[in-house]
Amino acid sequence: MSTNAADPLVALGGLPGVPDAVDSMRKAVDRAYGHRVMRRRSNEITSEAALRGARGSAALSGADWALEEVRRRTDFGSEPEARTVGAALRLTAEAGQLLSIWRQSPLRVLARLHLVAAADAGDAVGRPRQRGEGVDEPLIELPLPDADEVAGRLEGLSQLIIAGSSAPALVTAAIVHGELLALRPFTSCNGLVARTAERIVLVGSGLDPKAICPAEVGHAELGRAAYAAALDGYASGTPEGMAAWITHCGKAVELGVRESTAVCEALQRGAA
């Protein structure tokens, strides 16, 4: 990620197609918050969005389970896919506890997210990878930056977050998400951590304060191939590629909104 503008996130928000994506997403979010069910049963929508978001994030990391399987299971430590789903559920629960820390210490939050996701993965847990350490992230095929580049870019990302920006929340969330996927700063669980960080930005910015718009659902619905192609655009660093990634993330939020709106409709009909 690079730009010569004083506020690079604002500059990215002006790329062709991005303002339209931001506007479309905001309208969708506003409609969801205006649903009559939200006035009296918002806690139920939040809980369901968390579950569905975790399922979507796990699917993108190779554990594509049916929603009802995620809902009914209690053992998430027996095999790789179960551990992935369990990690996604833990991260979604943890995200809400870290909102107040994010703007002051984003690197601390990322370390905590990795600790929660990886659980018992040894001394590499909760810290950026070091020279010579590999990454277990088979679904992301971008070239892997070395540890020194990771450290420098993480620090740059941290400073952007701490400094704040007047850019739309979608832009900030997409850049945080894309940068973490491109860097893969940890030895494992980078996709899960990146998508949780996107959630933290969207919720903490005030765009989605009740966490009812799970972008992870939309990313999963759009599919791994589209996700990887959009990420390639981000990694290219070109204006067109960056705009395509941000637009992709906006569409994911809209699809998450659609999912929660369907839950609202079901509750209104008494079917859920």
Beta-carbon contacts of 59 under 8 Å, excluding residues fewer than 6 positions away, are 65, 220
**Residues 128, 111: Cα–Cα separation, whole Å:** 8
pLDDT tens-place values along the chain, 272 residues long: 544 446 899 999 999 999 999 999 999 999 999 999 998 999 999 999 999 999 999 999 999 999 999 999 988 877 999 999 999 999 999 999 999 999 999 999 999 999 999 987 678 899 999 999 989 888 898 999 999 999 999 999 999 999 999 999 999 999 999 999 999 999 999 999 999 999 999 999 999 999 999 999 999 999 999 999 999 999 999 999 999 999 999 999 999 999 999 999 999 988 54
Q: Are 55 and 70 in contact (CB under 8 A)?
A: yes
Three-state DSSP at 92 gives: helix
Question: Closest Cα to residue 155, out of 179, 133, 132, 137?
Answer: 179
- Locate 72 and state its tokens: 């009914």
Query: To which residue do tokens 């998430």 refer?
Result: 76
Q: Are 146 and 131 in contact (CB under 8 A)?
A: yes
**Residues 31, 29: Cα–Cα separation, whole Å:** 5
Half-sphere exposure of 142 (CA within 13 A, CB side): 23
Beta-carbon contacts of 136 under 8 Å, excluding residues fewer than 6 positions away, are 187, 188
Quickly count helices (H) and strands (E) in the chain. 13, 0
**What is the secondary structure of 239-254 as a DSSP string?**
HHHHHHHHHHHHHHHH
Q: Are 165 and 9 in contact (CB under 8 A)?
A: yes
- Locate 69 and state its tokens: 């399987």
* Predicted local confidence at residue 98, as pLDDT: 97
Helical axes 106-118 vs 147-163, angle rounded to 10°: 120
Query: To which residue do tokens 């004083």 refer?
Result: 6
Q: Is residue 204 classed exposed, middle or buried when 0-12, 13-18 and 19+ CB atoms within 10 A define those classes?
A: buried
